[in-house]
Chains A and B, each alone.
Chain A
Amino acid sequence: MNMEQAFQTFLAESSELLQDMEDKLLGFDSCDDCAESVNSIFRAVHTIKGSAGLFGLDEIVAFTHVVESVLDDVRSGSFVLDEQLINLLLQCKDYIGKMVDSIDGEAVLMAPEDLTVQAVLEQALGVYLNTEHSTAATALVGIDDADTYQSVSVIESDSAMANENWHISVYFGTDVLRNGMDPLSFIRYLATLGSIVHIETVTDALPGIEDMDAESCYLGYEINFHSSASKSQIEEVFEFVREDCQLKILPPYAKVSEFIDVIDTIQNDELRLGEILVRCGTLTQRELDNLLEMQHAVKEGGTHRLIGEIVVEDGLASSEVVTAALHKQAQGKKAKEKQAQTVRVDAEKLDHLINLIGELVIAGAGVESEAHLTGIGNLMESAQTMTRLVEEVRESALNLRMVQIGETFNRFFRVVRDVSKELGKDIDLHIDGADTELDKTVIEKISDPLMHLVRNSIDHGIESPALRAQRNKPATGNVKLNAYHESGTIVIEVSDDGGGLNREKILQKAIANGLVSAEAELSVQDINKLIFEAGFSTAEAISNISGRGVGMDVVRRNIEALRGTVEIDSEYTVGTTIRIRLPLTLAIIDGFMMKVGDAFYVVPLDIVEECIELNTNHNVGHDGRSYINLRGEVLPFIRLGDYFSKTGGSAKRENIVVIKYGSLKAGFVVDELMGEFQTVIKPLGPLFERVPGISGSTILGSGEVALILDASSLIHLVMQRDGKAISAAAKQSALH
């Protein structure tokens, strides 16, 4: 472990805490236990402050201190966390995040405009603060105020003693041992600051043996100490027992009055103490005599009030405060938060593991096929057991990468809140399926497209309050995020109850832009999809939220890069639902292998509905009438052999694999069915990246390569062929 690692932990921890803070702030209106929410928010800022201090990031400490002070006052009930304060704290949260991002070594490098933001925030926070919090105390406070018990001299004829050493008089409280303090350890520490010339143990407080409590401390020390340390340094030695003990530190050449003070404070026989001082070498006998004389004089003069003023405060707070504090703590404890036990692992390590498991799967398949060739029963059985275990290991390894989408979704509360406010719309965000899990890489890559879609829904989807009223809709608009699993894919929906797509307008615009020809006949879906074309925006006014014409096509490209698809359901004036369909994982899938000629093809097993034999009863030919009657349903199909120009597929019996992708169904005609196959997805070389119908490759146990089919593009190909005239289909088959 080194500081760099600790620093990385700090970065990760800060972003988590800030996220949590934001969630709590946004959810504050609907929280069950508001006290605990405030406590959590406070804790986030408090922890960041503490850790930042450790790394010497004073800028962060100073700013978080102000935020923390405001939160502390909220916690103690000085004022309530209202809408306005929540907004301010959200801005502060953003700013703290920015500071953490701007850390460069030991300094936080903020741009000048950011510092202006900071000044504005601090000023806004200042309104909530009373003056006592206004300065950031960065010093260690272990002693209330080191300078308050500088003796106040009232004696005019005060002469200095001829002693160049410090004199320390320390009498430990009876509870010091019970508090876990070892008086000797302080003395030992004191010795590191200088040399102890003489130490005298004062045992006067020791009771008789029958009254003695073994857990109590009765000792005091008079120490003659030679050191160049300052008074406060010496004082700090006793920092932890300050409240428990009587401590007097006299500098070299101390004044007579200060000695009187010591002698008076320690409620002892003055003569005896004087003797101790003499024995310590602090005072000479003559000095002591003078001193005692003077003391009597002072007492008679009635100025001995001095002592009372200097008696160490025992620092006990009023019992009310203690009770209140304890009560508050108990409340906090009741509302326990669910804290998931997690282990933080470097993403790279995880990727490496997944890679290795991919190789293991391939190697395992090789072993199994070799074992089959030998025909040795035991060997085959062992190989099978191993394959099963490898499969389990694969499952759990891939699970390690699975993350719930909820956290990504929750981020949108903030977006919806900010953007809708900016636009003067009232919008609620609803979230469903937050516990749906998908690959972390996919989650990372999907959050930007999602952001575009949500912003789009708010800006273009939800109408202005006036228009909503006109359409008899409730004034509050609704945006909904939903996620669920469907046949091996994950579906993420962004829907709104806004204006919906105006297909006429879209079509006009598309024709005007030359995206489609005027006489083309497009299906509803086709028109909807036009909004994903580059340079397409129907919004009349371009706002800074969306509508710059970039975005939707980028969204589509990002989704397609993840081997996903996107579709739109929309009804004018009623609402729009955009549905993103993504593969569950990017690394290893359960595949279904098929053979055409001498080539192998794989599709994800989850999308395979059934396999049937393609016999002459199905009455199919190569004339483009590529449909069969599947139990009364029309099933279009494609011959993979034709599509990939594979000849020699003169199989005795052809098979048709029925694939379901979303709401679409199609068949792939293949020569041979090879069955289930654990498929490690390998990317295609750059040369083949753009070949339609193929999404990747995999390596078989034998070392051969199989192509992974891009089911969605193949199905769409089939559907397109169907949607168009027969001539198009004829042209398609003529191509092959």
Chain B
Amino acid sequence: MAKTIMIVDDSASLRQVVSIALIGAGYDVIEGCDGKDALSKLKGQKISLIVSDVNMPNMDGITMVQEIKKLPAYKFTPIIMLTTESADDKKAAGQAAGAKAWMVKPFKPEQLLMAVSKLVQP
């Protein structure tokens, strides 16, 4: 069974492009449009990796990671945060919340794919 990756970002076009790339590489994808949405879609799913934006409406990425780390089922799910290169404080906050991997926006689909395949093979 293909591994499932959740992509969380408030930009629909970003989610679409990332989904196309990931599905093309053989992963299953679940999309979330913000932290809150992602948390509600997480329930009951077996997810191998979460790729999430930081700055989102409703619930930002950092809070979402903190919430996810509280859920026993997803405590160990790896999380890649998407950040801006200037946001060192965000990086630190993401680390503090429990997301150790981060990637800089903007990126090309193949760059994300490469990063993802380091953590989870389809």
Interface residues, chain A, with chain B CB atoms under 8 Å away = 1-3, 5-7, 9-10, 13, 39-40, 42-43, 46-47, 49-56, 61, 68-69, 72, 132-133, 137-142, 175, 177-182, 185-186, 188-189, 237, 239-241, 243-244, 315-317, 321-322, 324-326, 329-330, 332-333, 336-337, 339
Contact = CB atoms under 8 A, between A and B. Distances in A.
B78 A142 contact: no
Contacts of A61: 106
Contacts of A52: 106
Interface of B: 9-14, 16-20, 49, 53, 55-60, 62-63, 75-80, 82, 84-93, 95-96, 98-109, 111, 115, 117-121
B121 A188 contact: yes
Contacts of B20: 1-3, 6
A6 B24 CA distance: 15
- Residue among B53, B101, B118 with max Cβ neighbours from chain A (10 Å): B118
A326 B96 contact: yes
A140 B104 contact: yes
A3 B13 CA distance: 9
Contacts of A139: 104
Given A6-B17, A317-B88, A322-B92, A39 B121 contact: no
Contacts of A324: 89
Given A43-B55, A50-B14, A140 B78 contact: no
A142 B102 contact: yes
Contacts of B100: 175, 179-181, 240-241, 243-244
Q: Is the interface of A mostly helix, strand, loop or mixed?
A: helix
B78 A181 contact: yes
A47 B120 CA distance: 26
Contacts of B102: 142
A51 B86 contact: no
B14 to A, nearest CB: 5
A185 B111 CA distance: 17
B84 A72 contact: yes
Q: Is the interface of B mostly helix, strand, loop or mixed?
A: mixed
B56 to A, nearest CB: 8
A641 B9 CA distance: 65
A49 B119 contact: no
Contacts of A140: 103-104, 107, 111, 115
B2 to A, nearest CB: 16
A47 B88 contact: no
Contacts of A181: 78, 100-101, 119
Given A326-B62, A333-B60, A339-B57, A240 B104 contact: no
Contacts of B59: 333
A42 B55 contact: yes
Contact of A316 (B95, B99, B119): B95
B95 to A, nearest CB: 7
9 contacts: A49-B106, A50-B106, A51-B13, A54-B13, A54-B108, A142-B115, A180-B77, A243-B100, A329-B60
Contacts of A141: 85, 104
Contacts of B75: 178
A51 B11 contact: yes
A317 B97 CA distance: 13
Given A3-B17, A243-B100, 10 more contacts: A5-B16, A51-B106, A54-B106, A132-B86, A177-B76, A180-B76, A243-B95, A316-B92, A321-B88, A329-B93
A314 to B, nearest CB: 10
Contacts of A186: 118
- Residue among B9, B62, B92, B119 with max Cβ neighbours from chain A (10 Å): B92
A243 B19 CA distance: 28
A329 B100 CA distance: 18
B16 A339 contact: no
A332 B62 CA distance: 12
Given A237-B118, A240-B118, A333 B63 contact: yes
Given A333-B63, A336-B58, A322 B121 contact: no
A332 B34 CA distance: 14
Nearest to B49: A180
Contacts of A333: 59-60, 63
Nearest to B118: A189
Nearest to A9: B13
A219 B11 CA distance: 39
Contact of B16 (A9, A43, A189, A239): A9
B88 to A, nearest CB: 7
B90 A325 contact: yes
B87 A322 contact: no
Nearest to B112: A54
A6 B16 contact: yes
Contact of A54 (B14, B63, B98): B14
A158 B99 CA distance: 41
